[in-house]
């Protein structure tokens, strides 16, 4: 199937942000005098909105979660942003899609200001027509809201021409709420089971398989 517009999640789909995010979460918890948590639980923060994660994983109320996010960003904007790496093969895939004339966008729950800095720093900005994330005040953090803003900035293309690529159920559910197709990727931070339960159009195991899927239809 050929798509004219492809939306990519950022964390766990374009880049591996594990080191920067988990260290910044640990920093925030330390500042709040909370006990540290195991690595697997720290990894669960990759993908969902931070407010949701601090409330669900740690049981924080809204006020305490806001303080945790403030501490998280204190470290993340200085150091954590750059403790990140582009997945091998992503640069080549984006380049080929761009050459084919596909419109590309980033749709992430990460704050737009950070997402924009990351794609610039890792020299991916050149491929994207639109980079949209959440607002620093916590608004537009739900994935469907982010996707809606992307579609708006792309002048609301026909929904059958758009696909969302992501590694977590939030990407798939957000796409469904906006009426567009989605593809789950298993090389990020969502399990095969999580993605299957969300029911995307398809699931791919690695970037090589994703490349074949996206380029064969072009």
Q: Which residues are known catalytic residues?
A: 9
Question: What tokens were used for 136?
Answer: 């620093």
Backbone angles phi, psi at 105, to 5 degrees: -145, 155
Query: Alpha helices, DSSP H only, in the chain?
Result: 18-31, 39-43, 50-58, 62-76, 90-99, 112-121, 143-153, 169-177, 192-198, 207-216
Asked if residues 15 and 174 have their Cβ atoms less than 8 Å apart, the reply is no
- DSSP letters, 86-116, are EPTTHHHHHHHHHHTT-EEEEEEEEEHHHHH
């Amino acid at each position: 199937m050929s798509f004219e517009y492809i939306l990519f999640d950022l964390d766990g789909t374009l880049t591996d942000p594990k080191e920067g995010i988990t260290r910044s979460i640990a920093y925030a918890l330390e500042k709040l005098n909370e006990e540290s948590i195991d690595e697997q639980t720290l990894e669960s923060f990759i993908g969902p909105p931070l407010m949701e994660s601090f409330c669900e994983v740690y049981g924080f109320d809204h006020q305490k979660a806001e303080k945790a996010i403030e501490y998280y960003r204190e470290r993340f904007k200085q150091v954590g942003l750059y403790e990140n790496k582009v997945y091998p093969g992503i640069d080549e895939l984006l380049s080929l899609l761009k050459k084919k004339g596909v419109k590309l966008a980033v749709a992430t729950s990460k704050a737009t200001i950070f997402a924009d800095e990351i794609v610039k720093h890792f020299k991916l900005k050149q491929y994207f027509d639109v980079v949209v994330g959440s607002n620093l005040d916590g608004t537009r953090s739900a994935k469907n809201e982010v996707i809606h803003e992307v579609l708006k900035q792309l002048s609301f293309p026909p929904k059958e021409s758009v696909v969302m690529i992501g590694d977590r159920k939030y990407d798939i559910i957000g796409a469904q709420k906006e009426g567009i197709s989605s593809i789950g990727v298993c090389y990020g931070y969502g399990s095969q089971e999580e993605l299957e339960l969300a029911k995307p159009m398809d699931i791919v195991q690695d970037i090589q398989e994703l490349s074949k899927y996206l380029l064969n239809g072009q």
